[in-house]
Amino acid sequence: MGLEIFTLRERPDLRPAIFLPDLQSVWPEFMRHDATAQLYFAPSQFEAYLDYAFAGVADGKVVARAFSVPFAFNVEGRDELPDGGWDQVIRWAHEDRMIGRASTALSALEITLVPEARGGGNSIALLNAMKCCARGRTAPDPLLPRRLHAAVGGRRHRLPEQGRDL
């Protein structure tokens, strides 16, 4: 399956498709109402992250999505990756945007593929798109902290940490 990857800034027409049930159903309902998630996904906020949100298209259909968020790292109080994980990185990014602080890192938030698009290196292609984005916008050697999960029987399982620097 050949995957074409676009940012939502490049292809705003793909935005509705990345939130359709086949991709959206990966996350439990409560996550769609999480206050921290709204700092990224609320329509008024999401506009600022279109360069960091990706759609994967195969045979004219959106089969994958990936979200990342830029934030400032190695500034006061941020010399280690946060114990608060995904939530804390989103809060940092929101704070940075509100005060005009320049981003120096990019955090992967999610990579989701429909079942028929899994395998064949598509998730790696999406991760590479994030890396290219980071190098072009945040830092020459981006930091992409991530937690990998595998879907097994419809449940998400944490995989061993694969490293924090790609």
- What is the rounded CA–CA span in Å between residue 37 and residue 12? 21
The pTM (predicted TM-score) of the whole model is: 0.82
What does DSSP say about strands 155-158 and 105-113: parallel, antiparallel, or unpaired? unpaired
- What is the rounded CA–CA span in Å between residue 112 and residue 95? 26
- What is the rounded CA–CA span in Å between residue 55 and residue 7? 6
Could you give the C-alpha distances from 1 to 60, 117, 119, 121, 141, in angstroms and in order?
11, 7, 9, 10, 30
- What is the rounded CA–CA span in Å between residue 120 and residue 158? 21
Q: Tell which phi-psi region holds residue 102, choosing left (phi > 0), alpha (psi between -120 and 50) or beta.
A: beta
Q: Name the amino acid, one letter, at 5.
A: I
Q: Tell which phi-psi region holds residue 59, choosing left (phi > 0), alpha (psi between -120 and 50) or beta.
A: left
Q: All domains of the chain, ordered by start, with CATH?
A: 4-158 (3.40.630)
Residue 138: what pLDDT?
A: 63
Long-range contact list for 82-87, CB < 8 A, 24+ apart? 85/147, 86/36, 86/147, 87/36
Note down pLDDT in tens along the chain; length 166 residues.
Answer: 689 999 999 999 999 999 999 898 877 888 778 899 899 999 999 999 999 999 999 999 999 999 999 999 889 989 888 888 888 999 999 999 999 999 988 888 889 999 999 988 999 999 889 888 887 766 554 555 544 443 333 334 333 343 333 3
Residue 152: what pLDDT?
A: 31
